[in-house]
């Protein structure tokens, strides 16, 4: 990517023209970066209250993929002023629209909407032993009843996570569950060992990552591979281990049994379902990666079915997830056999979803005279 003085001149006091933004308190650092993250231009722009927006300049400066954080009025005004600029195109629609940006590319800072202390736990995004740049954009696309993503588990690496994110999460009265990812068993173990003396409550092992030593087949797609990584993680982990199962398998019960046999303390399921979307007008894939993980309400019936099957195959607890949008969805998972539930994609649509689900479950229990949520677990009539 070449230095673009005209891009930087669009709005001198607007950090969004810089290409990649990282909020530091009220100060926004902007710059143009290569695909590898190397800075070509960096500069400190005018201060604005609240968090701004993070953007990454794409190849040949054709697209800026906006990742929305807090929807501060100042940031919204800046973006509205820049609508129509050729460099500011939506990575999916080809147009720039503030609401589309929130809906399809949103990466909101939910602490500004929800008191995290009201949640039973916060599960982080995947953390690797080294920083991962993620996949090329576009990497998010809207679908009927959900969304496809091929983020590629972009993350800053375990060192940054320990120094920056754990202290932030410690401010809240909630459990911290760290999602761990890797490309080899050794990668996973490096993160697990790094976390052994950290104030985190549980580890969630993302076995949907491709195993580079086994022809890129995901760790969670073969029972023997799943058993191996589960047992090795358990030998090193100081915290309880949750194995996050992939739905992209022939028999979910076989995978659940393998994880349990290897010593897993709990299961979380399901991860995203592999899907694809094609732009018929451009005759191009909607995602640069071609395929992506489908999440959102569209996958809920599949997720409920798999939780039901797994709950009858193993004795360890299951955290149910996959398309939960409201309390009714969450209660379905509980009745199917989940001991707890988690909300993912719907946080992009409604950042209050988690609290609304918790309150809705409580209202349901009061309505039907249920004194303990445990009475709901696996209570569906056969």
| DSSP-assigned states of every residue in 347-382 | HHH-TTHHHHHHHHHHHHHHHTT---GGGGTT----
pTM of the model: 0.73
pLDDT for the residue numbered 218: 83
Work out whether the CA dihedral 43, 96, 74, 352 comes out positive or negative: negative
Whether the CB-CB separation of 270 and 322 falls below 8 Å is answered with yes
Question: Where in the sequence numbering do the catalytic residues fall?
Answer: 209
| pLDDT tens column, 31-82 | 433 333 443 333 333 222 222 233 332 222 222 333 322 233 344 444 444 4
Q: List phi, psi (to 5°) of 127.
A: -120, 125
pLDDT for the residue numbered 114: 83
Range name among 26-35, 118-127, 300-309, 365-374 with the lowest pLDDT average: 26-35
Q: Which long-range contacts (CB under 8 A, 24 or more apart) does 357-364 make?
A: 357/324, 357/326, 357/327, 357/329, 357/330, 358/118, 358/119, 358/327, 359/327, 360/326, 360/327, 360/328, 360/330, 361/327, 361/330, 361/331, 361/334, 363/327, 364/327, 364/331
As a whole number of angstroms, the distance between CA 314 and CA 310 comes to 6
| pLDDT tens column, 105-133 | 223 345 567 888 999 999 999 999 999 98
Pairing of strands 146-149, 54-57: unpaired
Q: Of 335, 327, 342, 346, which Cα lies nearest the Cα of 375? A: 335
As a whole number of angstroms, the distance between CA 244 and CA 255 comes to 10
Q: Provide the β-strand partners of residue 203.
A: 178, 241
How many residues are there in the chain? 382
Structure tokens at 204: 């969630």
Whether the CB-CB separation of 255 and 245 falls below 8 Å is answered with yes
């Amino acid at each position: 990517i070449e230095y673009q003085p005209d891009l930087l001149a669009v709005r001198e006091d607007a950090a969004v023209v810089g290409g990649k933004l990282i909020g530091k308190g009220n100060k926004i650092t902007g710059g143009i970066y290569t695909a590898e993250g190397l800075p070509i231009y960096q500069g400190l722009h005018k201060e604005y209250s609240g968090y701004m927006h993070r953007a990454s300049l794409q190849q040949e400066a054709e697209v800026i993929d906006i990742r929305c954080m807090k929807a501060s009025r100042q940031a919204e005004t800046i973006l509205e002023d820049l609508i129509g600029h050729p460099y500011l195109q939506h990575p999916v629609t080809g147009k720039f629209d503030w609401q589309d940006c929130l809906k399809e590319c949103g990466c909101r800072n939910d602490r500004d909407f929800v008191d995290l202390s009201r949640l039973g736990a916060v599960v982080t995004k995947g953390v690797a032993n080294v920083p991962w740049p993620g996949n090329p954009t576009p990497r998010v696309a809207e679908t009927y009843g959900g969304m496809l993503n091929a983020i590629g588990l972009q993350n800053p690496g375990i060192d940054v996570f320990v120094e920056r994110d754990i202290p932030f999460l410690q401010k809240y009265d909630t459990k911290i569950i760290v999602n761990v990812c890797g490309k080899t068993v050794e990668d996973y173990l490096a993160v697990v060992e790094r976390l052994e003396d950290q104030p985190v409550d549980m580890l969630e092992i993302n076995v949907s990552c491709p195993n580079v030593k086994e022809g890129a087949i995901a760790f969670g797609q073969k029972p023997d591979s799943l058993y191996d990584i589960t047992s090795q993680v358990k030998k090193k982990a100081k915290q309880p281990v949750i194995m996050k199962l992939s739905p992209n398998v022939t028999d979910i019960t076989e995978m659940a049994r393998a994880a349990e046999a290897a010593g897993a303390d709990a299961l979380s399921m399901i991860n995203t379902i592999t899907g694809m979307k094609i732009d018929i007008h451009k005759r191009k894939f909607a995602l640069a990666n071609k395929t992506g993980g489908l999440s959102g309400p569209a996958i809920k019936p599949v997720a409920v079915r798999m939780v039901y099957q797994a709950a009858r195959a193993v004795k360890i607890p299951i955290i149910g997830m996959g398309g939960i949008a409201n309390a009714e969805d969450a209660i379905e998972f509980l009745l199917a056999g989940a001991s707890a539930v988690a909300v993912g994609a719907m946080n992009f649509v409604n950042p209050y979803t988690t609290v609304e689900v918790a309150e809705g479950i409580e209202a349901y229990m009061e309505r039907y005279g249920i004194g303990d949520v445990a009475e709901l677990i696996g209570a569906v009539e056969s």
